[in-house]
Amino acid sequence: MERIEQHACFGGSQEVWQHFSSTLDCDMRFGVYLPPQARQGACPVLYWLSGLTCTEQNFITKAGAQRYAAEHGIILVAPDTSPRGKDVADDEGYDLGQGAGFYINATVDPWSRHYQMHDYVVQELPALVDAHFQTTTARAISGHSMGGHGALVAALRNPGRYRSVSAFSPIVAPSQVPWGEKAFISYLGPDREAWRQWDATALIPAATERLPLLVDQGEADEFMASELRPDLLQAACAASGHPLELRMQSGYDHSYYFIASFIGDHIAHHAAALKA
């Protein structure tokens, strides 16, 4: 663990750390915001998963989340979106390879050596954070777009691990949309049945934990109809009786202007669950 950035922020400290990941077999970076309350004792942790093309920098510099984390005494952890490095498999497209890990565990060469982002986010990174910072056992998870997909899937696949989950503009049915189909056939191979374990709408019916889902979706989002399909999540939750609060926000697009507008609501949502 090496700290490579540190900035005073709302009475706390916004930091970026680098470490070698045994899960991903490469060096990784993550942002961590330590609220002022962290100087007095342990705090709960909210994990944020970013979307396609992002690094750990997008959320920590654009979302304005630190203000709300400081108010509620929550540590924010924002990892990179994929393994990176000259020896890590990549693709010319923005929606595959480095910057596009999709938070799944790849099973097909050449991706399987490094692209184990689900295990990194759910297991290795929290263990590292818990070992180096004063944290409680309470965790929450959230994300945007590809990261919203990752957050929903992580919560649904790991009952009891998170107190709460939310998402902005998530890819809710990746096995049914172009972004997800391209990634899944590359990372997982052609067996569509194997894809279902990484698809939130497919996981909902068998979920053993009815963790309420908070989802914000901008109605002016250019990707909503073709890639995000909130209607499919709404239908899956309705059919299974899974609690969902889907908030359609008029005039908002897919950008961080949208996230910054409602991130305070999401952090308050997580704070209520983390401190219950």
**What are the tens digits of pLDDT across the range 66-108?**
999 999 999 999 999 999 999 999 999 999 999 999 999 999 9
Confidence class for position 141, pLDDT limits 50, 70, 90: very high
User: How far does the chain reach from its first CA to its final CA, in angstroms?
Assistant: 32
CA-to-CA distance for 96 and 183, rounded, in angstroms? Answer: 6
**pTM, two decimal places:** 0.97
pLDDT score, position 32:
98
Residue of 221, 242, 261, 269 marked active site: 221
Q: What is the mean pLDDT of residues 137-153?
A: 98
Active-site option among 118, 254, 266, 270: 254
Using the structure block, give the residue that is written with the tokens 């983390």: 274
Residue type (1 letter), 240: S
| pLDDT, tens digit (0-9, with 9 covering 90-100), for 164-215 | 999 999 999 999 999 999 999 999 999 999 999 999 999 999 999 999 999 9
How far apart (Å, rounded) are the C-alpha atoms in residues 171 and 221? 12
Average confidence score pLDDT of the chain: 98
Beta bridge partners of 18: 2, 29
221 is annotated as an active-site residue = yes
> Does position 35 have pLDDT exceeding 90, yes or no?
yes
Residue in 139, 146, 120 with CA at minimum distance from that of residue 75:
139
What share of the chain in percent tops pLDDT 90?
Answer: 100
Q: Which of 21, 145, 169, 175 is catalytic?
A: 145
Asked if 269 is an active-site residue, the reply is no
- Which structural domains are found in the chain, ordered by start? 2-275 (3.40.50.1820)
Average pLDDT over residues 32-55: 98
